[in-house]
Structure 1
Amino acid sequence: MAQVLLVEDDSALRTSLSRGLSERGHAVTSAVTAMDGLNRIVAHKPDIVVLDIGLPDLDGREMLRMLRAASRVPVIVGTARGGEDEIVSVLDSGADDYVVKPFSAGHLDARIRAVLRRGGEQQTAPEAIVVGGLRVDPATRSASLDGEPLELNPREFDMLHYLAARAGQVVSKRELLTEVWQLPYGGADKTVDVHVSWLRRKLGETARQARYLHTVRGVGIRLAAPDDSGDR
């Protein structure tokens, strides 16, 4: 199955999950601290990382940010808090999925398989998307506007890529929360609004003078090239 690195400082949970995942065919190694986890990721290159937020030496979100500067290994974050703010925080830090404690090895196994399946689908030679002067490349997770690179955080890139892949279409905030934030039961529209505002700033536009990101009141967001926006 998969080479799994489990970064968890709770010895009982670590032992239970390691045993349960091993019984399901995974090869499991473990780390107790964030720094040990980072070293093992570099040395052993696991297929997926299961990361606890509450580590003794470093907050799991900070470890994830450090990891994302050097690796795109899939990461599932385990958190004891299932509120929207916590979930948005871990996903914005670069997590691919999350599980809320307590969870079983069977539940975690299903999440691991789902994340790796999505990753396999994404590896089928994704092509860069060009909309006007905007270029979004999912293979390198990079974007540029008029030839200038855009500095985007992981969630900003994911949202821009999702909208660019549907250029000209109106995408609802509920759809963005479900598909980009992986919140199947929706969430607060303000989460999307804030990220749209950040994206607009980086694209050099405002809500009043939109070039690429257009709000359709009461419906959602449409990304379109300036000449195709319909707002000339």
Structure 2
Amino acid sequence: MRILVVDDDKNLCRLMEVYLKKEGYKVVLANEGQGAIDKYYEENPDLIILDIMLPKMDGWDICKAIRKKADIPILMLTAKGEKADKLKGLELGADDYVTKPFDPDELVARVKAILRRSATQSIRGDILTFPNLKINNKKHQVILKGKVLDLAPKEYDLLSFLAKNEKQVFSREQLLNQVWGFDFIGDIRTVDTHIKRLRKKIDEKLDDYKYFHTVWGVGYKFETSKENE
């Protein structure tokens, strides 16, 4: 498994790298914010060890940026022992929190524990399978009738979110918040536009099934149904 370590202390990065590699992990290092985000997209890590105090972009901002795109496990590092920092990290979606200085063996143990929990929780979430349709969230890939489907990023995000919440009805406002984010500035009809595109790319290519359903007066849901039902 691959771990992205983000800390501006290069000596500490190398120390963590040594201990993690001893346990068989592949380690990728970054020393500042934008570099960390670039490495995340390039390397597709299984877990991120993220320092809070970083130059230019701090760990909070990196955590928020990555959390908008993926549910990857994040272990926060900080030199502060304040309860408020721990709570803030957990509120932003961090999975655990370690205060510097720390025992490297304890860090490795926490990494193992987080990855075990993550593996258990994501067995169903990584690959979603439906008739003639497979969504691989690990590879960010959709396969329709055996062929990889070309989707725009927000089309994929919308499909993945609805499929993970199969049969649940969402209003347009809820979909905007979940997929585009609370800070999205634009027309609510962008949801309708993306649903229309997904229907054209998926439902209209299938003879026996359809997936995208309008619930009149409410919004949309994803549900497997035969075309003649």
TM-score under structure 2 length normalisation: 0.55
Matched residue, 1:82: 81
Whether the aligned pair in 2 keeps the contact of 1:3 and 1:46 (CA below 8 Å) is yes
Q: Deviation per CA, 1:69-107, whole angstroms, max 9, x where unpaired?
A: 112211100011222211010111121111111112211
Q: Give secondary structure in 2 for the equivalent of 1:40.
A: helix
Deviations 1:1-22 (CA, angstroms, capped at 9, x unpaired): x211100110221111111211
Could you say if the C-alpha distance between residues 125 and 79 of structure 1 is closer, same or farther in structure 2, counting changes exceeding 3 Å? same
Distance in 2 (CA, whole Å) between partners of 1:8 and 1:14 is: 6
CA gap 1:88/1:15 in 2 versus in 1, 3 angstroms: same
DSSP-derived class of the 2:37 partner: helix
Structure 2 segments unaligned to the other structure (5+ residues): 126-160, 179-229
Which residue pairs with 1:39 in the alignment?
A: 38
- Give the letter for the 1:27 counterpart: K
Name the SS of the counterpart of 2:49 in structure 1. Answer: strand
* Alignment map for 1:68-147 (pairs within 5 Å): 68-125=67-124, 140=164, 147=170
- With over 3 angstroms needed to count, the CA separation of the structure-2 counterparts of 1:29 and 1:147, relative to structure 1, is closer
Distance 2:120 2:47 in 1: 15
Seen in structure 2, the aligned counterparts of structure 1 residues 25 and 56 have a Cα distance that, compared at 3 Å, is same
Distance 1:15 1:5 in 2: 12
| Residues 98-138 of structure 1, C-alpha deviations (whole Å, 9 max, x = no match) | 11111122111111111111111112337xxxxxxxxxx89
Assess if the C-alpha contact under 8 Å between 1:17 and 1:104 holds in 2: no
Provide, for residues 135-170 of structure 1, a one-character-per-residue CA deviation record: whole Å limited to 9, x for no partner: xx8984x7xx97432747xxxxxxxxxxxxxxxxxx
Structure number, greater radius of gyration: 2
Aligned to 2:5, the other structure's residue is in SS state strand
Aligned residue in 1 for 2:189: none
Shift in CA distance, 89/147, structure 1 to aligned 2, threshold 3 Å: same
Q: TM-score when scaled to structure 1?
A: 0.55
8 Å Cα contact 1:125-1:139 kept in structure 2: no
Q: Which aligned segments of 4 or more residues in structure 1 are displaced greater than 4 angstroms? A: 137-140
Distance in 2 between the 1:147 and 1:4 partners? 35
CA distance in 2, matches of 1:38, 1:26: 20
Q: 1:124 to 1:139 in 2, by over 3 A?
A: farther
| CA distance in 2 between partners of 1:138 and 1:83 (Å) | 38
State the AA in 2 paired with 1:103. Answer: F
Deviation per CA, 1:50-79: give whole Å up to 9, x if none: 000011121110111011111221110001
The alpha carbon displacement at 1:24 in A equals 2.1
* 2:60 paired residue number: 61
- Note closer, same or farther for the CA distance 1:104–1:118 as it changes in structure 2 (3 Å cut): same
Structure 1 partner of 2:47: 48
RMSD of aligned alpha carbons: 2.5
The match for 1:10 is 9
